[in-house]
Structure 1
Amino acid sequence: MTSTPAPDGRASLGDGLRFAFGTLTVLPVRVARWDRTAARAGMAAAPLAGLVVGGGAAAAGALLVLAGASAPLAAVAAVAVPAVLTRGLHLDGLADTADGLGSARPAGEALAIMKRSDIGPFGVITLLLTLLAQVAAVSSLYGAGAARGAAGVVVAGVTARLALTLACRTGVPAARPEGLGAMVAGTVPAPVAWGVAVVVVGAGAAAGGVSGAAGAVHHALAVAAGAVAARLLLAHCVRRFGGVTGDVFGAVAETAGTATLVALALGR
């Protein structure tokens, strides 16, 4: 990913998509604009990046199932692909946020802990349990068939990035004056963020609709569960740190994706 100084004026759809894919994936996308206007468009389009990441993960798992692999092996592949396609960015943010929250230090000291390159015990435990939960849930979904597993993985991938859109809405402050968190915090107008949420819930329902009305309702509720779980974590982090950081965004995304997968697995 490369960037150039931001020009004046409104960001185009292309600017937003390049911002979303250039910051949220390892895809070789050139970020043409690096300003809050482009960030607004990019974070509103974040679920589209989730669609690509989730699609890659779903394809990996489904191909293994169709090739005769066990559901747990397919689940490991499906969970590994998003980590690869994001350079582990969100998982790293989850671990750092867990260390900051678990430190019980004042906000400034907790933020300093989160900036360290090492991962502490809270981060390790949180990463381990989160990945185990993801693999177990995805394994359950692929156990019901390649199509069922693939749909669940895609829905979770999109919901994880929807959580970023909602976390970037106006009114949510940045905890630091610098970094990616400060660049994107508060950029997405609340009506736009909630409009994107409605679209994602509808898309989730459509994905589950192949299994009938019950499946549509189940998938829509799973998206809502992921968004609610992310919202609770976001609110706690804002109270604890005084705002959001890039690490908090990563933690919010992983929380939303994991909660969605678990909700889908519970009702299969």
Structure 2
Amino acid sequence: MSLGDGMRLATGTFTRRTSGQVTVSRDSARSALLLAPLAVLPLALQVVLVGTSVELGVPPLVAAAAALAVLAYGSRAMHLDGLADTVDGLGAGLAKDPLEVMRRGDVGPMGAVALVLVLLVQAGAITALLGSGWRGALLVGASVIASRAAAAVVCGRGQRTADGSRLGAAFVGTIPFGAAALLTIAVAAVLVAAALPVVDTLPPDGSPGSPDLAWSTIRMLAVAALAAPIAVLAAARFRDKAARAFGGVNGDVIGAGIEVALTVVLVLLTVAW
């Protein structure tokens, strides 16, 4: 596995940063998928910095919208585009070729509604998290990192590539189950580490109206630990539905899986406190 080629491929695929020339092979594609959470670290840090603006008095909703704007710009909005195209393809009906609908380049009504709803949910969840100030911003950044593990899960061994997909031909079917599981555990650990500063803000035992501190801590860390596995499972279920409709997985499905995972992680974290 070429780590150098893999990191350059991951950077060029999952962010807007230039990565130079890279030799695309099954090995470099596998490496890129496994390194995707690391490749988006600079973008996640930008999201954290924008979210931290709440400490300067910026309203959480405004900071959440700005964080999503930075995330969309830094990823060329390609995952959002993939989500819209995938939903449009799923809603094409029997009279149309779903892959042809996805290749048209425009956004249909179902794709537009999916984008609006997903961004509303993400903005609402980020707003809630930013109520904890910089600690919440840290969790939002960790969620960005964790969500990129979904790409590896979507491209697991045994998956077929949809007809005509160059990105799918490079990535799909390259990731063994064990590697995907280890990557999921790794990003779950990142989420748990990001949640630890929030534990310090919990009210102590005996405070009026406060829950038991030990139970609150356990609940928060348990949700943080389980958020990534649940999110990648949701992305895998979405992939399975799309693969049945399209005859396989393409680049749009990979991007959609990332957006599904990010949304699930953010929503789960909001229920932790």
- Residue 88 in 1 paired to residue 77 in 2? yes
Counterpart of 1:201, as a letter, is A
Deviation of 1:151 after TM superposition, in Å, equals 2.3
The verdict on how the C-alpha distance between 1:138 and 1:153 changes in structure 2, with shifts beyond 3 A counting, is same
Counterpart of 1:246, as a letter, is G
Deviation of 1:226 after TM superposition, in Å, equals 1.4
Contact 1:22 1:31 (C-alpha < 8 Å) held by counterparts: no
Query: After superposition, where does 1:160-239 map in structure 2 within 5 Å?
Result: 160-212=147-199, 213-214=217-218, 215-239=220-244
Q: Decide which of 45, 50, 54 is 2:35's aligned counterpart.
A: 45
Counterpart of 1:186, as a letter, is G
CA deviations on 1:83-110 (whole Å, 9 max, x unpaired) are 000111000000000100112237x800
The verdict on how the C-alpha distance between 1:31 and 1:60 changes in structure 2, with shifts beyond 3 A counting, is farther
**What secondary structure, in the 3-state scheme, does the structure 2 residue paired with 1:45 have?**
helix
TM-score under structure 1 normalisation? 0.90
Deviation of 1:177 after TM superposition, in Å, equals 4.5
Aligned to 1:3: none
Query: After superposition, where does 1:110-189 map in structure 2 within 5 Å?
Result: 110-148=98-136, 150-189=137-176
Contact 1:208 1:218 (C-alpha < 8 Å) held by counterparts: no
Contact 1:207 1:216 (C-alpha < 8 Å) held by counterparts: no
Taking the aligned partners of 2:254 and 2:148, their CA distance within structure 1 comes to 9
Question: Over aligned residues, Cα RMSD in angstroms?
Answer: 1.6
Q: Decide which of 44, 57, 60 is 1:54's aligned counterpart.
A: 44
Question: Which of 113-122 and 208-217 deviates more?
Answer: 208-217
**What secondary structure, in the 3-state scheme, does the structure 1 residue paired with 2:64 have?**
helix
Contact 2:85 2:107 (C-alpha < 8 Å) held by counterparts: yes
Contact 1:50 1:159 (C-alpha < 8 Å) held by counterparts: no
Aligned to 2:92: 103
Deviation of 1:178 after TM superposition, in Å, equals 3.6
Deviation of 1:218 after TM superposition, in Å, equals 2.0
Question: Which of 139-148 and 255-264 deviates more?
Answer: 139-148
- Residue 33 in 1 paired to residue 23 in 2? yes
Aligned to 2:214: none
Counterpart of 1:146, as a letter, is W
Taking the aligned partners of 1:128 and 1:30, their CA distance within structure 2 comes to 34
Contact 1:99 1:122 (C-alpha < 8 Å) held by counterparts: yes
Deviation of 1:210 after TM superposition, in Å, equals 2.8
Question: Which of 71-80 and 222-231 deviates more?
Answer: 222-231
TM-score under structure 2 normalisation? 0.89
Structure of larger gyration radius: 2
Deviation of 1:228 after TM superposition, in Å, equals 2.1
Q: Decide which of 226, 244, 247 is 2:249's aligned counterpart.
A: 244
Deviation of 1:225 after TM superposition, in Å, equals 2.5
Counterpart of 1:164, as a letter, is A
5+ residue gaps in structure 2? 200-216
5+ residue gaps in structure 1? 1-10
Counterpart of 1:15, as a letter, is D
Taking the aligned partners of 1:31 and 1:196, their CA distance within structure 2 comes to 26
Contact 1:155 1:223 (C-alpha < 8 Å) held by counterparts: no
Contact 2:165 2:250 (C-alpha < 8 Å) held by counterparts: no
Q: Percent identity?
A: 37
Taking the aligned partners of 1:161 and 1:105, their CA distance within structure 2 comes to 32
Deviation of 1:204 after TM superposition, in Å, equals 1.6
Question: Which of 50-59 and 158-167 deviates more?
Answer: 50-59
